[in-house]
Amino acid sequence: MFYALFGDHLKDVTAYANEVGSKDLAFSRIERFRESTPERYGVRANDEFFIYESAMSFDFARAKDVLWIYPYIVKNKSAFITVSKQYYIKIRLKNGKTVQVPAKKDTTDEMMNYFASVFPDAVFGYSNELENIFNKDRSRMIAEVERRREERLRGSAFEESSYNNEASQDETNGYEVKEEEVSASDIVEEKVNDIAPDNGDTYTGSEFN
């Protein structure tokens, strides 16, 4: 049944099945997860799995493979005037894949807080440095997330740290946002600091040195 529904989007599920050593066992676990885990913001997530389903895709990952999460805003411009905005949460995975979950301006904060509670070991908030690490030296980010997970599972005390670049030294509790301006002629990317949820964890650059 599971394969019949999502057979075209099962690359990541198949990888998990290969790791488990049994396709039937893997599909059974995931299907049980889908049936027992309530959907929030179009996502099903717990400390074991993550699933985002849409009309065109089926995205699956193990919770421990979620590395980096940040708000993402696309500003549609015409003649240098913003005519609309689209809000998303980007979830970057260990295998390099990106899952883009639609959001709304008034739900972005609560979505980020929700993901922070479900994926407490992940990196939160955008920066150019983190983008560079993810794209060119992902093993450093993987090592940091795995270290944090191991410490949490051991129940040891963990001192939270926050990522702040020079443009946001006064906003240590907010999530850095990636903002993209789209016009007919060009695309300009910049970070903004206009979203500041109640909690969430990001990392200082020194965490990856």
**Structural domain includes residue 5:** no
Choose the weakest-confidence range: 51-60, 123-132, 172-181.
172-181
Contact at 8 Å (CB) between 120 and 201?
yes
Prediction pTM value? 0.73
How much is the average pLDDT of 160-184? 47
- State how far the Cα of 146 lies from the Cα of 67, in Å rounded to an integer: 9
Q: Rounded to the nearest 5 degrees, what angle is found at the Cα of 121, between the Cα atoms of 147 and 2?
A: 115
Is residue 200 a part of any domain in this protein? yes
- Give whole-number Cα distances, 70 to 122, 126, 144, 155, 197, in Å: 10, 6, 17, 26, 12
Q: Which domain holds residue 168?
A: 66-208
Which range is least confidently modeled, 8-12, 24-28, 44-48, 197-201?
Answer: 197-201
Report whether pLDDT(125) > 70.
yes
Number of domains in the chain: 1
Is residue 135 one of the residues assigned to a domain? yes
Least-confidence region, from 50-54, 165-169, 176-180: 165-169
142 within a domain of the structure (yes/no): yes
Higher pLDDT residue, 45 or 191? 45
- For residues 37-58, one letter each, b for 16 or more C-beta atoms within 10 angstroms of the residue's C-beta and e for the rest, the string is beeebebbbeeebbbbbeeeeb
pLDDT, tens only, 78-90: 878 877 889 999 9
Q: Is residue 52 part of a domain?
A: no
Task: Band the pLDDT of 166: cuts 50, 70, 90.
Answer: very low
CB atoms within 10 A of CB 139: 9
